[in-house]
Structure 1
Amino acid sequence: MIFISKYIVPKGYTGVALFPFVFLKYIALKNDEVLINHEKIHLRQQLELLVLPFYILYFTEFLYRCLQYRSRSKAYRNISFEREAYTNEKDLNYLKSRSFYSFLKYY
């Protein structure tokens, strides 16, 4: 289910997946198939890790990448979950063929 909320989506981002919802900053983004696919990839990651462990791993890896790259934006782009989503966001059929724990390939 997709909701529009400029208050839930962090500054500098256009969307966020918080299982089982996708929040977008603007209503026009509902037509952005690539963005929606990106967020759906995150929903699948969250589901396969039973939600809470996903968030723990996500933020732990973000902190590790911050130390590694000394840049929040580089850290964010290099989180394995984000690397999988960005790499495959344009393949609108990706989720049909994606195997479990595919994010591990991007670690």
Structure 2
Amino acid sequence: MRKKSECHIKQIKDKAKKRADTIPETKPLVMLDTVPEPFSEGELDTALKKMKTGKAVGHDHISSEIVKYLGLKGRGMMLRIGDLTLAQKKLADDWKVSIVVPIFKKGGWERL
């Protein structure tokens, strides 16, 4: 079983690397004096370590494994997106969407 999971992780890393190579470069974010400090690499590392793996993907079809194994470009983009979110003080509409699918125990559906 361990071999299978290692192969799966390798495939995820390979896909993430290919996608990261196609991401266009963006201009650096200009920070205003009133904006909190930009996110640090350490803060990103801490957040990524807390992400649970093996969970279902959301409506964006991005698994936590893909996010955890981003390359340098992808990590840089994550930091820039976080900084931009702080600067604008606004969350992207897609980040406010959640899909909840109830999983009923045996006989649970009939009790509704």
Pick the TM interval, shorter chain: under 0.3
Structure with bigger strand share is 1
The structure whose Rg is larger is 2
Q: Under a length normalisation based on structure 2, what TM-score does the superposition of the two structures give?
A: 0.26
TM normalised by structure 1 equals 0.27
